[in-house]
């Protein structure tokens, strides 16, 4: 037994007739909004027309040409001035030749060249500070902050002692004291390197070697302070005692 199903008629709209409202038509998406292209652009790189941009770049405007010429001439002048500039180390105030001369003058405590220390700096003391910290690190002692703090306190201590002794005649500033304390730290740095090869059990030997290097640093620092400051010759003994205390503290860090 078969059943009959009612099939609705399909109506195809003709070209000239109106569409049947019951028939769903496909809707095509509308094109996005596009701004109108300008007919002519004064700036070539703002134009999206490749042909017009190439033509305008081939023949730029008069003011733009002058700007290019001036920038080109400026570039030429800049290259010549760059060759005449000072080296980077000189601009930073780091002079390796002066650092080497000051360091070499400390090596002989009996004949110290005081003239090279008139121009104080902190580049050499920072290098010696890092060297001392490195040797202490090789010995298993991490003392970066301790050594830096002692250098600062020692510089302030030497500055205060000398200016209290000299009174109004004292002309030794804190920058010079820091430079002298740092450069005269060279014997202590050598002591720290030598102590790496001295056994820990030889306590007497370590104390004798440390005493020699402390006297070396004391002699160098006191001689420089007396020669660079006015009125230092009158208080040589007290200045030497202050320097002896400073470098004894640094040597205790090394031998213990």
User: How large is the average pLDDT for residues 141-156?
Assistant: 95
- Tell me the C-alpha distance between 102 and 99, whole Å: 5
Q: In terms of pLDDT, which residue wins out, 115 or 136?
A: 136
The answer, yes or no, to whether residue 31 has pLDDT greater than 50, is yes
- Tell me the C-alpha distance between 135 and 44, whole Å: 65
pLDDT attached to residue 89: 75
Query: Which among 185, 184, 183, 179 is positioned nearest to 119, based on CA atoms?
Result: 179
The answer, yes or no, to whether residue 167 has pLDDT greater than 70, is yes
pLDDT attached to residue 14: 57
pLDDT attached to residue 81: 64
Dump pLDDT digits (tens) for 183-238: 999 999 999 999 999 888 778 899 999 999 999 999 999 999 999 888 788 889 99
pLDDT attached to residue 74: 45
Helices (H), the chain: 50-58, 62-83, 88-91, 96-106, 123-138, 144-166, 174-183, 186-194, 203-228, 236-255
pLDDT attached to residue 64: 45
């Amino acid at each position: 037994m078969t059943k009959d199903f009612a099939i609705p008629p399909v109506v195809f709209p003709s070209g000239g007739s109106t569409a049947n409202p019951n028939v769903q038509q496909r809707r095509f998406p509308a094109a996005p909004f596009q701004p109108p292209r300008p007919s002519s652009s004064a700036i070539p790189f703002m134009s999206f027309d490749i042909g017009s941009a190439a033509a305008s770049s081939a023949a730029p405007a008069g003011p733009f040409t002058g700007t290019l010429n001036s920038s080109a001439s400026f570039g030429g002048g800049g290259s010549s001035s760059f060759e005449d500039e000072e080296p980077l180390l000189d601009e930073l105030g780091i002079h390796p030749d002066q650092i080497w001369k000051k360091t070499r003058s400390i090596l002989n405590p009996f004949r110290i060249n005081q003239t090279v220390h008139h121009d104080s700096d902190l580049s050499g003391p920072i290098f010696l500070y890092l060297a001392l910290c490195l040797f202490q690190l090789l010995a298993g002692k991490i003392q970066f902050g301790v050594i830096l703090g002692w250098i600062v306190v020692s510089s302030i201590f030497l500055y205060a002692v000398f200016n209290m002794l000299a009174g109004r005649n004292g002309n030794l500033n804190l920058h010079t004291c820091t430079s002298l304390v740092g450069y005269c730290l060279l014997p202590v740095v050598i002591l720290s390197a030598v102590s790496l090869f001295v056994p820990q059990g030889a306590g007497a030997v370590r104390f004798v070697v440390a005493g020699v290097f402390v006297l070396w640093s004391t002699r160098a620092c006191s001689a420089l302070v007396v020669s660079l400051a006015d009125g230092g010759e009158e208080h040589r003994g007290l200045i030497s005692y202050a320097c002896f205390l400073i470098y004894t503290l640094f040597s205790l860090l090394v031998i213990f």
